[in-house]
Amino acid sequence: MKVLLTDDSTTMRKIQKRVLTSMGITDIVEAGDGTEAIKKLEENNYDFDFMLCDINMPEMSGLETLRKIRSTPECAQLPVIMCTSVAEKEQVMEAIKAGATNYVVKPFKPDDLQKKIESVIKIEK
Amino acid sequence: MKSEYVNPFVEATVETFETMCGTVPKRNGKLEIKSGVFKTDDLVGIVGLSGNVCGAVLMAMSVETGLKSVSSFLGEEISEPDSDLMDGFGEILNIIAGAAAAKLSSFKIKLALPTVLLGQDQLLSGKQISPWIIIPMMFPEWGSFKIEVSMEEKK
């Protein structure tokens, strides 16, 4: 299983990586913003099982990145879990409208993130 | 700034540290209101607030307390100020600001990206019209810190 992990915070990526690794997922590609994420998708021929994506990022925000992914035929169906620190209904609704598969709200416990990932993996299976 | 805006920031701070760092900070004394130029701690994070408000939220603590709290957040020991300390500190504040913004949803608050400053004898300036509310807080095991908020509704 191969994952694209996108967050501008290196510490948050380390935290999320630890959760993924504990689930046996070790093929993890990292990106620090949306622009880099799109580049990594292209470089890897869009070959990912799912993506974790922060919303509040510099350069290209998480929502812009998600819209770009959904409009790209090669990855339009890629499951994307959005991570938001603003648990506001409007932002969550905006992410879902933009095509988010699921979302996780910060602060989260490792278990919370694991459950969201499991739900996406289950759908994929 | 109205005093009822304080509780969402306190609740967000407690929830964030409890969930992400496994510790429950508590209020540590009375609120202070400050304007003009005043001294703050050595490790300072700031997130600008916009939307239907104008202002910022700031978290300040000693480097020692910062190292302990970010080590706990990250799940690995940081012993010296480095990029992990700065990044982790900013991310913790970003989460606090986001959780507080959700509690103050009627203002449709938008968050700027966090900025973290490290240095001795840092000074903060607040305008008389929009002073800083200083919320002293304390970790049970790592020492004290402050959440500072300056926020006005846009007219």
Q: Does the pLDDT of residue A90 top 90, yes or no?
A: no
Provide the CATH number for the domain around residue B12.
Answer: 3.40.1550.10
Q: Report the CATH number of the A2-124 domain.
A: 3.40.50.2300
pLDDT band at A84 (very low <50, low <70, confident <90, very high): confident
Asked if A109's CB is within 8 angstroms of B19's CB, the reply is yes
pLDDT band at B128 (very low <50, low <70, confident <90, very high): low
Task: Provide the number of structural domains found in chain B.
Answer: 1
Mean pLDDT (chain A) is: 92
Q: Where does B58-131 have alpha helices with state H?
A: 63-74, 83-103
How many beta carbons lie within 10 A of that of residue A113, not counting itself?
Answer: 21
d(CA A62, CA B125): 33
Q: Does the pLDDT of residue B129 top 90, yes or no?
A: no
* Residues 6+ positions from A89 with CB-CB distance below 8 Å: B105
Q: Does the pLDDT of residue A125 top 70, yes or no?
A: no
Give the percent of chain B with pLDDT over 70. Answer: 97
For residue A56, the chain B residues in CB contact (below 8 A) are: 94, 98, 111, 113
Q: Is B32 on the interface with A (CB under 8 A)?
A: no
Tell me the shortest Cα–Cα distance from A2 to chain B, in angstroms: 23
Cβ B41 vs Cβ B52: under 8 Å: no
pLDDT at B5: 84
Tokens of B95: 């989460």
pLDDT at A124: 56
d(CA B47, CA B12): 14
The per-residue b/e assignment along A41-65, b for 16 or more CB within 10 angstroms, e otherwise, is beeeebebebbbbbbbbeebbbbbb
Q: Which of A12, A88, A107 sits opposite B105 (nearest CB)?
A: A88
d(CA A28, CA A2): 6
Q: Does the pLDDT of residue B91 top 90, yes or no?
A: yes
For residue B20, the chain A residues in CB contact (below 8 A) are: 106-108
Cβ A88 vs Cβ B105: under 8 Å: yes
Q: Does the pLDDT of residue B7 top 90, yes or no?
A: yes
For residue B108, the chain A residues in CB contact (below 8 A) are: 88, 90
Q: Is A71 on the interface with B (CB under 8 A)?
A: no
pLDDT at A73: 96
pLDDT tens figures, A16-46? 999 999 999 999 999 999 999 999 999 999 9
**Better-scored residue on pLDDT, B1 or B35:** B35
d(CA A122, CA B147): 41
Q: Does the pLDDT of residue B47 top 90, yes or no?
A: yes
Q: Write the ipTM.
A: 0.87
Mean pLDDT (chain B) is: 92
Domain that holds residue B51: 3-153
